[in-house]
Every structure is written in C-alpha cells, then in structure tokens.
Structure 1
C-alpha cells in the first residue's frame, strides 16, 4: 500500500519541477516570468514538503533530529525565505537555486532519515531553541551562498569578461548586495533569540557536549554583529561584507556540524 508521505513527496517534487522549469525556460529565453505562478507552484510544493517534514519530525515520544531530517527542514525553510525575499526584491531568479535545494533536501529526508534512532525528548524551551538554531543556520547558509555569488559577480565585473554568466543571469550587484544584508539581519535576529533560549534552557553545556558549539556560536554572533554595525555606521559593503559573512558561517559550521558528527557518528556508535 502506498504511504501518504510518499504521495506528498511525489506531489511536492512535481510542483517544484513545474516551478523550476517555468522559471528557467523564461529566463533563458529572456522572457519575463509570471512571479505569481512561480511563487504559488513553489509554495504548493513547500506546503506538501512541510507535511512530510512535520510527520517525520514530530513523534508521540519526542522530536526526530536525524541529520537527513534536519537537511529536509532547513532546505524547505531556505526556499520559503527565498520566495519571501523575491516578493519585494527583484531576485526571482535566485529561486533557480532555492527550488532544487529544497527538492534535494526533501528526497534526502524522505529516503535516508532514521526515525527510530535519533528521537529525543526535550522540554518545550529546548525544542524551541533547537528549531530557532536550525532556522538561523539555514538563513545564514543562504547568506553565505549569496556572498559567494557576489564574489563571482564582482570578479566578472572587475575582469571585464565578455561572457558574464553571473552578471547576465542574476539581478544587479546592488540588488544582490541588499539581499545579502536582508539575509544577514534575519539570520542575526534568529541566532540572537536562539542563543537567548539556549542560556535559559540548557543546564550544563559541558555535560551535554555543547561547550565548543556554544563558544563558536557566540564568536560567530559577534562577527555578524560587527558586520551589521559596520554596514550601518561605516558603510561596509562589497568584498569586506563577503569576507565577514564567510568567516561568520565558517565558525558556525565548526560548532554545529562538528558537534553533530561527533555525537551521532562517533559517540552513538
């Protein structure tokens, strides 16, 4: 018998593919895509994606924090934010990245998650802290990808290349830079709230193998905060913003991914 999550997954992938190919074909042929059609079909896929993630993450005995389920959750959130950003910034083309990422995350979560292995019973406050942390990481990963694209655009502009792939296909450098700071501000706020919840809900960072993760997260928070203040007060932008963004996410990755790998693949063997 075909399971309901499988049906939702297949329908979500159909919606994602429809949205992606419509947007891709219109951009390649230099036609203006219908933003409503792209957004509605992508959101339909995202709604079905959410049903799959919720059914797998939320269990009667706790929340499933399996690595592949986290990938599915964060990829869906990244697409959702990409759609929101493109509703008020001229950055619809960036959904050509967001849609395949969400589709890949959905497939990974559905095919490889192990719901019986990583279910954890936490307090409500700790679960909120974890979800907020995952959301902050997702947004700041988007900012990191955005920063890398800005670096490629800057290289093409400075080298005066005849074939400008990133400059031609994507919005202007100025619009992409504004979007970067939108993402940084969103991620910084989420990270701030997540850290606040963490300090009130986690009793012993050392006993729970969280000391280094917390330290890296705080240092990363300071880096992002310094960049946002520098942008607001001193006009920091361009490649300085790119470097700060990459440094901040590198610190987050060292703390989060490192602890996840150690806990799941070494300590739990």
Structure 2
C-alpha cells in the first residue's frame, strides 16, 4: 500500500503545483489534463481507503479513516462541480486538502491507536444513512472553504487592496457566490435525508451514543435552513452567506468529528 500512497501523493502534489503555477503566471489551466489528474488521484485514494474501511471484522470508520474518506468525497464533489462551474483554479486548495486527508488515513492506520469497534450487521437503512452523512459533511465542508475564500474576495474589494490575489486570480465574485449557494443547497438536501434516515434507524439515542452528534447535526441543519430561507425570501448573500456556511459547518464538525474524538480517545 505504500506505493499506492506515494502515487496518490504525487498526483495531489502535481495538481496543487500545476494549479498554483497557472494562478501565479496567469495562464489558462489545461482543463483535460487537470481533470484527468484529479480523477486519477481520486481513484488511487479510493483504492487506498476502501480496504482500511471494509475489513473482515466489519466497517472501520475510526477517526483516521473518516477524515480520509471525507477528503476523498471532497475531491469527488469538487470534480463534479468543476464540470459545470469555472472553478478548476480552486484545485490549489482541493488537492492539499485531499493530500492531508489521505495522509491522515494512511499513517493513522499504520501508527494510530484509535479505540474503535468496527460496525457489523448494519441494516440497509443505516448503511445509506452513513453514506449520505459523509456526502453531506463533504459538500458542506466545501461550502465552508468556499465561504472563507468568498470573504477574502469581499474584503479585498471593500478595502480596495492594490494586490488583489483572491479577486484577480480566482473566479469572479458572482461565480463564487453562485457556487456557494449550490453547495449549501445540495448539502442541506443530503443532510436532511441523512438525518431522517438516521432517526428511523436509531432505536435508543443515549445507548447508541449519538445524542450529542444528533444535537449538533440538528443545530447545523437549522442554521443552513434559516440561511436558505433568508436567501430566497430576503436575498441574503455575500458576507452573510459566507458566515452562515462557516457557522453551520462548525456545528456539524463538532457533532461528527468531535463526538468521534471523544468516543475513541477520551471514553
């Protein structure tokens, strides 16, 4: 697996360096080449993480594998959004994120000591819930990153900065806002379905140690729901949209990653 990991690292480094050089030199990105590298990196990442999760003892979603899988979904959704939005330049951020995730998963599997009991005999409903939960977290993670970039662009425009890196080198503010709305709406829909299936599959919230996770996920769902309503009814956008995306994801991260950390390391 070391060879697969090193190949994955090389692809992710190549994507990041390529995107960065194109941004600095202000030259067009070769779309087929970069998309091809992204797809190859994602395939290798998947080949590496699947055996770590699907084991003979059940599904191993320890914190290391979880972060690695989230980064993989992050990359997959980035590729999907790149097919219809001019955002390939954001590969300068997507590739390092995936690189960090796959590294955490690989080295966590080799050296980590997370006390995690693999999941066995899962119902179809629960399996779908887990899959959709990961998908929702990834899309909303992308929305949070997108929101940070959007805030940086707004700041440069507001303060009339001379050297406008975020404004001049990345897609237009309007394109970035549209992409943020796409991400939030998609993430909200997936999260809604995941929460609904989770409630149906959960028979004892306390005994199954999901009370804190459910609480923070529900709070995050409310935050995103309020923003979507405000966006369509009152035209909320710009900095306010970015803030909602960031705060909503923080709540989601506390509920998901925070609960896993407590259960695996502190309990």
Aligned to 2:59: 63
Contact 1:79 1:95 in 2 (8 A): no
Aligned to 1:163: 163
1:23 equivalent to 2:23? Answer no
Matched residue of 2:83: which SS? helix
Give the C-alpha shift of residue 19 in structure 1.
Answer: 2.5
Aligned to 1:186: 186
Change (3 A) 1:55 1:141: same
Matched residue of 2:59: which SS? strand
Give the C-alpha shift of residue 41 in structure 1.
Answer: 1.0
TM-score by length of 2: 0.93
1:37-116 correspondence to structure 2 within 5 Å: 37-113=33-109, 114=112
Aligned to 1:197: 197
- Taking only aligned residues, the RMSD between alpha carbons, in angstroms, comes to 1.7
Give the C-alpha shift of residue 188 in structure 1.
Answer: 0.8
Change (3 A) 1:154 1:116: closer
Q: Can you give the 5+ residue segments of structure 1 that lack an aligned partner in the other structure? A: none
Contact 1:217 1:251 in 2 (8 A): yes
Q: Can you give the 5+ residue segments of structure 2 that lack an aligned partner in the other structure? A: none
Matched residue of 1:120: which SS? coil
Matched residue of 1:161: which SS? coil
Aligned to 2:218: 218
Q: List structure 1 segments (4+ residues) > 3 angstroms apart after TM superposition.
A: 114-117
Q: Which has the higher contact order (CA 8 A, sep 6+)?
A: 2
Contact 2:220 2:251 in 1 (8 A): yes
Change (3 A) 1:117 1:254: closer
Give the C-alpha shift of residue 26 in structure 1.
Answer: 2.2
**How far, CA to CA, are the matches of 1:116 and 1:172 in structure 2?**
43
TM-score by length of 1: 0.92
**How far, CA to CA, are the matches of 1:216 and 1:12 in structure 2?**
33
**How far, CA to CA, are the matches of 2:163 and 2:11 in structure 1?**
32
